[in-house]
Structure 1
Amino acid sequence: MSATGADRDAVGVGNRWWWGRRRSAVLDVGLALVSALECGLEGIGFAEKAALPVPVGVLFGLVIGSVLLVRRRSPIVVVLVSIAVTPAEMGFLMGVVGLYSLAASEVPRRITALLAGMSTVAVFVVTAVRMRQDLARADAGPPEIDPSGWYVPVVAVFVTLGLNAPPLLFGLYIGARRRLMESLRERADSLEQELSLLADRAEQRAQWARQEERTRIAREMHDVVAHRVSLMVVHAAALQAVALKDPQKAVRNAALVGDMGRQALTELREMLGVLREGAAPVAPVPVPLAAVGRAAAAAAEAAAEDGPRLDALEGLCEQSRLAGTVVDLVVVGDVRSYAPEVERTAYRVVQEALTNVHKHAAGADVVVRLAHRGAEVAMQVENGPCPVDARADVGLPSGGNGLVGMRERVLRLGGVFVSGVTDAGGFRVSAVLPTVSPLSGGSAVRP
């Protein structure tokens, strides 16, 4: 953050006096000394005219001239003192510097105008009276200039404007420039704060994008690995049971296990390939934070395009049938194609639900329903109670993230997800996805 004007000026002198910088104090002290010397010399003539002792006039002039020391703190006092001593013809420097300081300060403009008018009137009157007195004392015959004519007022006006106008105008200019610089400095500080906030928000968005991508990858890995490995474990258990009794069936089960393992490896390679393509390139310069979010979005989009579709549900159910599970697939409505993320989510919900059946209800009958509706697509996977003679545990560990992952997928697309135990003792998983995806920003239905 850049320092403000007050922070930059508060150097050296501190807060004990009204000066912000040491050179300002030196300048004011110097001006006050010069003004005191001037008024002290002018005090000699004032003492003679007022029939006062000369030391008294000099002392009075020194005190009056030193008032210029407070021009930054109280410019009004300096101008008022200069106006008060104008009839004594003292304080020329104090009047000029006082008017400049008043115009350049933050004093309200109406007060500045009032004091400037008072000073102008005082200087005009004193100048006119002094000129008339000088002309009246001229003893070289008849006066060449009539003191009662136009000469004295015109000259008095020019003298007054010459003394008061330049410091006033210059002070107004300096004050306006100072306020402009201060406003620009404050604006720069405000812009720097906004840039800092934008940088923080960009970092938060990049972190959110990375977290979202990690969550998506975790869901994909869970879906691919859990389903394939669950079926492989089921087939391996069946292979172990029939290896000696039915060698032909054991061979078929072994072939199925190999096929499922190869399919799992293929899907994992595709996922990792998408991540490598969507990752930001390694470069010697820092990668912008926004590139991280764009890379994550690109990876998610590419994964959605290459992911499974609803037309693969029959093959998914057939894999469970080969494992010995009775699976009925019921499709209602006109079959249509949807956006990749919608079909991919629907497929993963059915896949994870079948995986849970293999884990927790091995041997139970399963009904998979898919309904194509006008503005939504619905899917439901319901299994009956686990048979009494079925294996209570096939040795499949549960991470506890299956239902959570399904819910996250569905809610991410603006859908509805419900799961729970049925009255018959089974388990039901239901999800409804809109055909207008909030991620694609338009219709998710494809011709």
Structure 2
Amino acid sequence: MTTTGAERDAAGVEGGRRGWGWWGRRRSAVLDVSLAVVSALECGLEGVGFAEKASLPVPLGVLFGLVVGSVLVVRRRWPITVVLVSIAVTPAEMGYLMGLVGLYSLAASEVPRRFTAALAGMSTAAVYIVTVVRMRADVAQADVGQADFDPSGWYVPVMSLLLTLGLNAPPLLLGLYIGARRRLMESLRERADSLEQELSLLADRAEQRAQWARQEERTRIAREMHDVVAHRVSLMVVHAAALQAVALKDPQKAVKNAALVGDMGRQALTELREMLGVLREEAPAVPAAPVAAPLAAVGRAAAAAAEAAAQDGGPCLDALPDLVEQSRQAGAVVEFVVMGEARVYGAEVEQTAYRVVQEALTNVHKHAAGAEVVVRLAHREAEVAMQVENGPSDAGAAAADLPSGGNGLVGMRERVTRLDGAFVSGPTDAGGFRVSAVLPVAAAAEVVPQRSA
């Protein structure tokens, strides 16, 4: 089972959090603790001056500074707290490092922008006020020595504003940039993970389509081989049985039956060579495709081979009289009825109609020896229909005793439904069997181009 990058990162972060609190990684914890120590030392030193100005014991001022500076250790977990503490101690003139790092952490965090803007404004205002007061006190104590220069007018406000912006703007802008960059990287990582999952799904679907194509091709080849071999071999067996029966009584009829057996065997071999030859010609086009492409190309190449075989020398409706005549020569009583005006259909339509009639006649030879058969072919406006109906078998006729795999009706149904046609088969009230199929001409003409007349 494969894992995405986000899952691996999440697993790493969760594993780190179990050992390093809210930091997730050891170096993050070391960095924050180091900054907190430096900030505590800074605030502790500045606490000495704060204690003198506030008339407090120096150890108390140092302890206060150490506690205040240590708040920086929670900057990743609670950045708002760090900023609020830095704003609170700004009048005491301590916590400059904490204020800078706190603003950076706040801007880089997932805190809503309205809170970030409000806290940044409060921090800027506090620093500006303290800076103005400090500069006015320094200017008042200094001896400028120039009567025409009044620093209390514009100098102190402008310089205080520049110092405030110089302290607060860089960490705030840097934090905004880092936060935006982090969010962008997370979105790109999520997008990459989603694309990876989509590619995995596409690969699975391609494999499923390839398996379906291979299965479909096996079924198609088995159906073609069954239709080609079963009919010819069935007639050959029937003629061989007749030849055995009349060999001594009527030598001339025996010679005729032997010739028919030879002709049918040659026809069967010819059709097999044509089919296998087309498949062999299509085979070199399949290899050398990348990964999943050859798997899907197998079905397309096989389908192209079937269509090429159908268009080049394949059976058609014009060959139905010969097919019926072969059954008559085998001793069956077959009536062939054509209704409607004969037309030229698509090669696959004509091949399917031919195979349906062929397989139906084969079943008659197998299971209804001596039965009378009626083959009907109807040319309609938007469809072509065929029906093969046989009566009950003749009790006096010798059975051919041919094996049956039970795939004849299945193959006929598959052929017809592939062209969106209708197929019905079943016993009749008279004790016979009926096979009916209807093929839509328009739908099939879109699949296979028209064959020349």
The TM tier, using the shorter chain, reads: over 0.9
Instruction: Give the match for residue 308 of structure 1.
Output: 315
Q: In the alignment, is the contact (CA less than 8 A) between 2:346 and 2:445 conserved in 1?
A: no
| 1:3 corresponds to | 5
Q: Which residue of 406, 430, 433 corresponds with 1:427?
A: 433
Tell me the equivalent position of 1:295: 301
Equivalent position of 1:379 in the other structure: 386
Tell me which of 28, 32, 40 is aligned to 1:28.
32
Q: Does 1:106 align with 2:110?
A: yes
Structure 1 residue corresponding to 2:354, chosen from 347, 361, 380: 347
Query: Would the alpha carbon gap of residues 140 and 317 (structure 1) be closer, same or farther in structure 2, given more than 3 Å must change?
Result: closer
Matched, 1:43 2:50: no
Shift of 1:379: 0.5
Alpha-carbon spacing, 1:304–1:443, altered in 2? closer, same or farther (3 Å): closer
1:261, distance to aligned residue in structure 2 (A): 1.2
The structure richer in helix per residue is 2
Q: Which residue of 1 aligns with 2:16?
A: 13
Counterpart-to-counterpart distance in 1, 2:237 and 2:13: 77
1:398 counterpart SS class:
coil
- State the partner residue of 1:414: 420
Gaps of 5+ in 2: none
SS in 2 for 1:316: helix
Q: CA deviation at 1:29?
A: 1.6
Give SS of 1:15's match: helix
CA displacement 1:107-127 (0-9 Å, x = unmatched) = 000000110011011101111
Question: CA 1:275–1:327 in structure 2 vs 1: closer, same or farther (change >3 Å)?
Answer: same
Moved more, 208-217 or 432-441: 432-441
Could you say which residue in structure 2 is the equivalent of 1:185? Answer: 189
Residue by residue, what CA displacement relative to the aligned partner does 1:255-298 show, whole Å, maximum 9, x if unpaired?
11111111111111211112212224586786633322332232
Q: Counterpart of 2:333?
A: 326
The Cα shift of 1:196 comes to: 1.0
Greater displacement, 3-12 / 301-310: 3-12
- 1:6-405 to 2 correspondences below 5 Å: 6-7=9-10, 10=13, 13-16=16-19, 17-138=21-142, 145-146=149-150, 148-280=152-284, 288=293, 289-306=295-312, 307-391=314-398, 393-405=399-411
User: What's the C-alpha RMSD, in Å, of the aligned pairs?
Assistant: 2.2
Instruction: Label 1:296 to 1:363 Cα distance change in 2 as closer, same or farther (>3 A).
Output: same
**Distance of 1:296 and 1:48 partners within structure 2:** 96
Report the alpha carbon displacement of residue 148 of structure 1 after superposing the two structures with TM: 3.6
- Alignment-mate amino acid for residue 18 of structure 2: N
For structure 1, which runs of at least 5 residues remain unmatched after alignment?
A: none
- Going from structure 1 to structure 2, the CA distance change for 1:13 and 1:429 (only over 3 Å counts) comes to closer
1:352-385 CA-partner distances (Å, limit 9, x unpaired): 0000100111111111111111100000111112
| SS of alignment partner, residue 381 of structure 1 | strand
- The AA in structure 1 aligned to 2:282 is G
CA distance in 2, matches of 1:425, 1:177: 83
Deviation at 1:441, TM superposition (A): 4.3
Please state whether the residue corresponding to 2:376 is helix, strand or coil.
strand
Contact 1:124 1:160 in 2 (8 A): yes
Distance 1:114 1:124 in 2: 15
Question: 1:2: how far off?
Answer: 3.9
* Contact 1:36–1:62 (8 Å) recurs in 2: yes
Q: One-letter code of the match for 2:73?
A: L
Equivalent AA in structure 2 for residue 305 of structure 1 = Q
For 2:49, the aligned partner's letter is G
Distance in 2, matches of 1:207 and 1:437, equals: 27
The answer to whether the 8 Å contact 2:278/2:305 transfers is yes
Structure 2: distance between partners of 1:269 and 1:445: 22
* CA shift digits 1:329-356 (9 cap, x unpaired): 1111111111111001000000000001
Confirm or deny: 8 A CA contact 2:213 2:296 kept in the other structure. no
Deviates more, 1:66-75 or 1:279-288: 279-288
Kept after mapping to 2: 8 A contact 1:435/1:443? no
Residues 342, 444 of structure 1: 8 Å contact kept: no
2: CA distance between counterparts of 1:27 and 1:296?
Answer: 66
- After superposition, the Cα gap between the structure-2 partners of 1:419 and 1:244, relative to the gap in structure 1 and judged at 3 Å, is same
Normalized against structure 1, the TM-score is what?
Answer: 0.94
Deviation at 1:156, TM superposition (A): 1.2
- Aligned equivalents of 2:353 and 2:146: distance in 1? 119
Moved more, 75-84 or 16-25: 16-25
Deviates more, 1:159-168 or 1:10-19: 10-19
How far did 1:440 drift?
3.5
Q: 1:435 touches 1:444 (CA, 8 Å); kept in 2?
A: no
Q: Matched residues in 2 for 1:438 and 1:336: separation?
A: 14
Q: CA deviation at 1:303?
A: 2.6
Number of residue pairs the alignment of both structures matches: 446
Percent sequence identity over aligned pairs: 78
Once residues 81 and 33 of structure 2 are traced to their aligned partners in structure 1, the CA distance between those partners, rounded to angstroms, is 17
| Structure 1 pair 359–189 and aligned structure 2 pair: CA distance change class (3 A) | same
Deviation at 1:181, TM superposition (A): 1.0
